Amino acid sequence: MIPYIHRDISWLAFNYRVLQEAKDPTVPLFERLKFLAIYSSNLDEFFRVRVANHRSLLRTGKKTRSSLDFEPAEILSTILKVVNKQQEEFSRIFEKDIVPELAKCKINILRRKKLNEEQQEFIEDYFKDNMLPFVQPVLLVGNKIKPFLVTGALYLAMHLEETASDNKKPQYAVVKIPSDHLPRFIELSPDTEGEHDIIVIDDIVRHNVRLLFPGYDIIDTYSIKLTRDAELYIDDEYSGDLISKIKKSLNKRNVGVASRMVYDRSVPKKMLDYLSEVFELSQYDKLPEGRYHNNADFFGFSNFGLTHQKDNPQPPLSVPHLEKAKSIFDVIKKKDQIIHVPYQSYQPVVKFFEDAATDPNVTHIKIIQYRVAKVSKIMDALKLAVKNGKQVSAFVEIKARFDEAANLMWGERLEAAGVTVHYSMPGVKVHSKIAIVRRIEKDKARLYVHLSTGNFHEDTAKIYSDIGIFTSDKRLTSEAARLFTYLETKTKPKRKFEYFGVGQFNLKPLLIDLIKTEIKNAEKGKEARIILKMNSIHDEEMIGLLYEASQKGVKVQMIIRGICSLVPGVKGVSENIEAISIVDRYLEHARIFMFHNNGKEKIYLSSADWMVRNLHRRIETMFPILDPDIQNTIKDLINIQLYDNVKARHIHIDKNNDYRTETTDLAVRSQVETYYYMKRFTDSFDSDKK
Catalytic residue numbers, as ranges: 431
Q: CA 105, 111, 112, 114: dihedral to nearest 10 degrees?
A: -70
Closest of 518, 582, 579 to residue 554, by C-alpha: 518
Please tell me the distance from the alpha carbon of residue 451 to that of residue 460, in angstroms, as a whole number.
Answer: 16
Cβ atoms within 10 Å of 297's Cβ, excluding its own = 20
Helix-strand-coil split of the chain, %, nearest 5: 40, 20, 35
Give the burial class of 316: count Cβ atoms within 10 A of its Cβ; 0-12 exposed, 13-18 middle, 19 or more buried: middle
Contact 367, 430 (CB under 8 A): no
Q: What DSSP line would sit under 242-263, residue for residue?
A: HHHHHHHHHHHHTTS-EEEEEE
Distance CA 124, CA 136 (A): 17
Beta-bridge partner residues of 504: none
Report d(CA 366, CA 546) in Å as an integer. Answer: 37
State how far the Cα of 535 lies from the Cα of 150, in Å rounded to an integer.
32
Spatial distance between the Cα atoms of 10 and 610, rounded to a whole number of angstroms: 14
- Annotate 549-590 with DSSP letters as a single string: HHHTT-EEEEEESS-B-S-TT-TTTSTTEEEEEE-SSSEE--
Q: Given the DSSP bridges, would you call strands 216-228 and 258-264 parallel, antiparallel or unpaired?
A: antiparallel
Helix axes 540-551, 507-523, angle to 10 degrees: 10
Sign of CA dihedral 475, 476, 481, 482: positive
Asked if 551 and 545 count as a contact pair (C-beta separation under 8 A), the reply is: no
* Spatial contact of 649 and 580, defined as CB atoms under 8 Å apart: yes
Query: Of the candidates 614, 495, 473, 610, which has an alpha carbon nearest to the alpha carbon of residue 545?
Result: 610
Question: Whole-angstrom Cα distance, residue 519 to residue 666?
Answer: 34
DSSP 8-state symbol, 610: B
Question: Which residues make Cβ contacts (< 8 Å) with residue 283, sequence separation at least 6?
Answer: none
Q: Determine the angle formed by the axes of helices 7-23 and 29-46, rounding to 10 degrees.
A: 160
Residue 289 contacts by C-beta under 8 Å, 6 or more apart in sequence? 87, 90, 91, 262, 263, 264, 265
